[in-house]
Each structure stands twice: as structure tokens, then as C-alpha cells.
Amino acid sequence: PIFADEQEHCDQLKQWLESSSVSLELSKKGFHREVTTTVELRPSALSGASVLLLYRWPNGVFVDPYQLASLSDQSNFEILLDSAIDLEVPAHKTSGFLTYVFPSHTGSAPSFLKLTIPVHGRYHEPSFAGEAFASVPIEPPDLLLRTEKCSDLRRFESHSVVDAPCTVSNSSTCSWVKQPLQQESSTVSVMLPVGDGSATMLVCGGTLLATMGCCVALSKYMLKHRIV
């Protein structure tokens, strides 16, 4: 009976992996956006199953840990960052990062999940090719599933098994089964304005001349009024 029960849970977990879907939507404009992820777990709820969404963020955007902490009471998820986030550096001086998102729920994982993460665009290097915007693609997260009642993951030969934190506390690591890459991936792109690199010399030269002019005028004023 124990073996039969485990077999049943493993079969249900496999059905989830093959039938579930993950999609992304992007809202708001400018440098401050919201990424909404919708997860449909099919065919039905699986008792004792845990869900984890693994986001691979590009270097062109970041999440603000302080903002996420302030919104934690209103959020339907908990989030774990794989590294510290520098909020000030431009895109070309940093790298991408990972976030582990654990949907908040009691009992069995619901069959429908929808969560929204605020993201912010980083400043990009000026373009010397006349491009006014930089495109930053954001891919859907990896859907990872596990259940304590299905411990023999060798059954999932056609699926990837990855190690990831068991919970948001990151006190231990568990083996999760990853959903195969969907054929129709709902990648979204953030369009961020960039400066005109060809105008760099003109702007720098103008700034230097303006600074020198102000210095000369100030010096004359100080000499005229004998301000030492």
C-alpha cells in the first residue's frame, strides 16, 4: 500500500509537470515595472505538493529587497535572493541574478497561482549606433515541484532534477523536479531609454566651457569687490 501510494503521487506529479503552464505579463511604463506570473497547475490539486518558481533575471533589471520587505504583508509569496543587490550600479557593471519565489498557501498547492513582482530598470551605457532604447528580455521562471510522498526521483528520467532551497529560510536543500521548457515561451521585453553616445564629446565640451566661463566671471567679481 505504501508503494502504491507513492506511485500514485509520483504519477500525479508527472502529470502536473507535463500539463501545467507558466506565463508572464508586463505592466506599467518607464524604469519601474511589474512582472506578473500566472501558473496553472493541471489537472487538479496535488496533496502535499510544494511549488517553487526560479527566476533568472538579466543584468538590465533588478528587484529592490527593501521594497519587497515592505510589501511582504500584502504579497502572496515569499522571495529569496541568491546574492546581494546593488541598487545604484548601471547594467554593464553588474551581472544577472536568481530569485527563488515560494507561493504562500496553506495545505495543498492551489491549481491557479498569480503573483506580481515589482522590478526596476538599470541605466545602460550610451549608444553610439543611434539606438534610443535598449531591450531587456525577461524569461518566464522555471517551475519546480516536489512532494514528500514521491521520494524516488529516478522515475523522472525525461525531466531535470535540480537542487534548490527547501523553503525561503534557506536552511536546507531539496531535490526538485523541473518542468520541461515550454514550446511557446512567453518572454517579455522591457524597453529602456539610453543616451546618445555620439553627443558625449559635445556635452562634455559644452560643460567644460560653461564651467570655465563661470569661474572667470566669479574671479572677476571677487577681484572687483576685493573678496578674498
Q: CB neighbours (10 Å) of residue 129?
A: 6
Lowest mean pLDDT among 18-32, 117-131, 153-167, 186-200: 186-200
- DSSP-H helix ranges across 26-140: 65-70
Ranges of each domain in the chain:
1-195, 197-227
pLDDT value of position 1: 47
- Which CATH entry fits the domain spanning 1-195: 2.60.40, 3.40.50, 2.40.10, 3.90.1720? 2.60.40
Query: The whole model's pTM is what?
Result: 0.81
pLDDT value of position 159: 81
pLDDT digits (tens, 9 = 90+) for 109-146: 677 889 999 999 999 888 777 778 899 999 999 999 98
Cα dihedral 27→33→34→37 (10° resolution): 80
